Amino acid sequence: MRFNFLLLLLTTLIAVALSQNWKPCQVNIKLKSTNLFWTLDTRRFVILQPKSSSSLKLTTVPFRVPLGSVKGSSIDRFHGESVQSLGPNKGLLLLRTNLEPTQCWHFHGDFIHPCNNHTQALTAERTIGTSIITVKLKHKTGSNSQKWVVSKAK
């Protein structure tokens, strides 16, 4: 009788726990001292726009790196997608998570660096002749266009 009660209690607790719609903390990333948040354009490149319902809600999760590598985080969405660098002076793209080093990021103060190169930082840059502001990987200069705020999404 006592065993049956414990089994019933355990089953109830497991059922309640599994029914919860749990998600890790969602965050927005914005350019410091502005109202410009990470959003996607139609080609899935990360761009900056004023806060809206299309602002990206992301999570930062520990990145599994090979032994001896720099530890960092991936910047993910809940659809199995991660922010990935296409290389220096190129934009960021939201792609399927594949655990490549180009999807590993290190948050250091206001800066977001690739895990394997702290001389570079994510940088806001206006596309010449347009009003579009893209997020690119550039040499770290310490300018305000390289300073980011990661805050809990509302």
Which domains does the chain possess?
24-152 (2.80.10.50)
Helical H segments across the chain, by residue range:
2-19
pLDDT confidence bin for 67, thresholds 50/70/90:
low
Strands 46-50 and 92-96: unpaired
Number of H helices, E strands in the chain: 1, 12
pLDDT of res. 154: 78
Rounded (10°) CA dihedral 18, 153, 125, 85: -10
Does the pLDDT of residue 69 top 80, yes or no?
no
Q: Is residue 7 within 8 Å of residue 30, measured between CB atoms?
A: no
| Helix or strand run (H / E) with residue 121 | strand 120-126
pLDDT of res. 26: 85
Give the residue with greater pLDDT, 63 vs 36. Answer: 36
What is the CA angle 130-132-135, rounded to 5?
Answer: 135
State pTM to two decimals: 0.78
State the chain's mean pLDDT as an integer: 86
